Amino acid sequence: GIDSLSDLKKLSVLGRGNGGTVYKVSHKQTGSVYALKVLRFGEDDAAATREAEILQRVDSEYIVRCFGVFNGEFPEVDGGGGGGGLCFVMEYMDYGSLHDVLRKKKRLPEHVISCIVRSVLKGLEYLHGIQVVHRDIKPSNLLVNLRGHVKIADFGVSWVVNSGGDHTRCTCTDGSCMGTCAYMSPERLDPERWDGGRCDGFVGDVWSLGVVAMECYVGRFPLIGPGQKPDWVTLMCAICFGENVESVVKMASPEFESFCQRCLERDWRKRRTVEELLSHPFVTNSEINGVEDLVSYIASSN
Ligand code: ADP
Ligand code: MG
């Protein structure tokens, strides 16, 4: 195992986010490669602690593995003066995020989307089963490896049901809206749709997955037109009152269109649950050689 952060050598930066940075690192003694997420103290310590708790609790092949949490400084980057942070040693996903995949491939064929969607649904089935709502399902939080595995990552804004706190609020009215709000469900953006607190939030993850699936198909963020500016008002209107799924996924198979419609049902009470979607034909059709399809697809050069 990894005993201390000083056993790790920094190789490169994989991602930089709000309160933290993710490094590719190697274990000096064994040469094994990991991803190290460092969340600085003093940014949002409560959120960092919650992320650590969730990561240490989850145990599923559809969720990125965490091998240890360290409270301290990563000497390779802090040089001793950085003040330190909460550091998560995670399994390294060598094909990056779905966001990176989409940048390279532009758009994905339906059989590949089916395989991705099935993995994410299985991850969500697990999370919802332990009362965790992810709340930030989007391409940059879905990680891929060359063995064709797709895993959910980033529990930075996740919510443990009935753990207290106000989970209905959305606090993004600033410039980072596109990143934080674009995949949010109508009920999260418009508190009136919460129905007096009866919504527990689980189907919000389903909405987000539907947006991701459509984005994979059309090759761009699907809810607003290619020329529209993704500001707060435009996004909010598109999510709460925008166009129908049919007009976005033109030419898709009936199964795919139906799947997207079930996910993007604006009324959360009518939206399908994760369990229901796991037996949707779009998801079950490619079950037989799903992972092989995904491996050969991401390994292909174009
Ligand atoms: P943030 O809270 O900053 O969004 P994430 O956990 O989503 O942090 O990580 C940011 C980015 O770093 C991801 O979008 C991905 O590109 C990269 N990344 C994170 N974890 C891993 C990992 N385990 N393996 C490979 N890349 C990773
Ligand atoms: Mg992220």
Tell me the binding residues for ATP. 37
Q: Locate tokens 């949490």: which residue?
A: 69
Pocket test for ligand 1, best of 97, 100, 134, 144 (most atoms within 8 A of CB): 97
Tell me, what's the pLDDT at 165? 63
179 Cβ inside 6 Å of ligand 1: no
Q: Under the phi-then-psi rule, with left for phi > 0, alpha for psi from -120 to 50, and beta for the rest, what region is 271? A: beta
- For the four alpha carbons of 31, 34, 39 and 45, in that order, the dihedral sign comes to negative
CA angle 165, 58, 171 (to 5 degrees): 30
> Residue 216 belongs to what H/E stretch?
helix 202-218
Who contacts 182 (Cβ-Cβ below 8 Å, separation ≥6)?
Answer: 138, 211, 221, 223, 230, 235
Task: Look at ligand 1, atom 14, and give the residue with the nearest C-alpha.
Answer: 140
Question: Known catalytic residue: 166?
Answer: no
Q: Considering the entire predicted model, what is its pTM?
A: 0.94
Residues 6+ apart with CB under 8 A from 1: 67, 68
Q: Is 89 in the pocket of ligand 1 (CB under 6 A)?
A: no
CA dihedral angle for residue 166, residue 168, residue 172, residue 173, rounded to 10 degrees: -110
Q: Which residues contact 3 (CB under 8 A, 6 or more apart)?
A: none
Q: What is the pLDDT along the chain (302 residues), one digit of tens a residue?
A: 788 999 999 999 999 877 789 999 999 999 999 999 999 888 888 889 999 999 999 999 999 999 999 998 887 775 555 668 999 999 999 999 999 999 999 999 999 999 999 999 999 999 999 999 999 999 999 999 999 999 999 998 898 887 766 555 555 544 455 667 899 999 988 878 877 667 788 999 999 999 999 999 999 999 999 888 888 889 999 999 988 888 888 899 999 999 999 999 999 999 999 999 999 999 998 776 667 778 888 777 65
Residue type, 3: D
